Each structure stands twice: as structure tokens, then as C-alpha cells.
Amino acid sequence: MEQYQDILVGRDAEKKHLESIVLSKEAEFVVVYGRRRVGKTFLVNTFFDDKYAFKLTGLAQKSKREQLANFAVSLNRYGGGAKYKKPRTWYEAFDMLRQLLEKATVKGKRVVFIDELPWKRSGTPAAGAPSLAQHSEGNSSVSFSWFPSLARYIPRSNTSAFRCSW
């Protein structure tokens, strides 16, 4: 991670926050939010050097069915040869993700990156994904989602959010 952090100019606070997450002994849930086009995805991809146990990018204004098909594509990309069928519900999708993560043989933290989660114009979570709460600020929106199949891995006290702005 160190060699790529040099290109993250003006992001010292964000890097410090992400470093504390990486060094933590606990599972963490982090939400990065902010206005469009300020470098949120670039920050995360650069900091983690695109090394993820799982990565999903939501599709712009697509149906729940299309979003779930996209989720299956990502499961199969990161599944190490396992074949995942398209989930019927978001709960089933995140249970499949739990199974993928339990089978992973990665040493250290397993980073799951879900990008563009609230990808509908209304600011609601991507195509019906379950949500605990929503926060909107100006032109930005973020959804804090809580999926029961993953909840036991992420204590609520280890949930944080930081605003990414320029």
C-alpha cells in the first residue's frame, strides 16, 4: 500500500483513517461518501492497490434483477473457481458473499469493496437493496446497509463513515 499512497495528494486524513482500519484487529465497516467526481473510488482503489477479496460496482439505473446478475458475476470473479448462480434476493446474495469470504484463504484482512451502492436517481439503495438508514447531503447520498448474514462479522461499534471532498 505504501508505494501507491504517494499519489494520493491532499488525502492525509483519509489515508490515516484507512490505515487505522487496516491495522485494527477487528472487522470494520467503512462508508466513504461525498459529492460526485471527487475521487472516492480512486482513493479506495489506490489505497488498497485493487487487491480485494470481493469487489462489486453497482450498475446505473438498472433493475434489481440486473443488479443481482451483476453481483453473481463478481462472486464468480472472486470465487476462486466456485460457481455461483444468480441470487434471487439481496439476502441470498450477501449470504453467498459470506460463504465466499469463509472459504477465502487470504492472510490478513479481507477487503470487500462495494462501489456505487445507491445507484438510483432517487438516492435509494441500488435496486431494492435492504437499508438501515440513509444520509443525504447536497448532491451526495449514502446508504448504510446491514445484511444479517454478514452482521456477526462486523460489530456495530466498528462502523465508521468519512466524507471525501475536494
Which sign, positive or negative, has the C-alpha torsion 32, 159, 16, 162? positive
Domains and CATH numbers, the chain: 2-163 (3.40.50)
130: nearest Cα among 121, 139, 117: 117
- According to DSSP, the residues that pair with 32 across neighbouring strands are 162
pLDDT at residue 56 greater than cutoff 70: yes
Using CB atoms within 10 Å of the CB of residue 18, give its burial: 0 to 12 exposed, 13 to 18 middle, 19+ buried: buried
- According to DSSP, the residues that pair with 134 across neighbouring strands are 143
Query: Is the entire prediction scored with pTM above 0.85?
Result: no
Percentage above 70 pLDDT, the chain? 67
- The grid coordinates of residue 51 equal 487487491
Percentage above 90 pLDDT, the chain? 21
pLDDT in tens, 83-121: 999 999 988 998 999 899 888 877 777 888 888 876 533
pLDDT in tens, 3-35: 555 788 888 888 888 888 888 888 777 878 778
Interior CA angle at 144 toward 139 and 149, to 5°? Answer: 150
How high is the pLDDT of residue 87?
Answer: 95
Please indicate whether residue 146 or residue 47 has the higher confidence score (pLDDT). 47
Q: Which residue has 453473481 as its cell numbers?
A: 72
Residues 89 and 71: their CA atoms lie apart, in Å, by 11
Q: Looking at this protein, which amino acid is placed at residue 67? A: Q
Sort residue 46 into left (φ over 0), alpha (ψ -120 to 50) or beta: alpha
Residues 156 and 149: their CA atoms lie apart, in Å, by 14
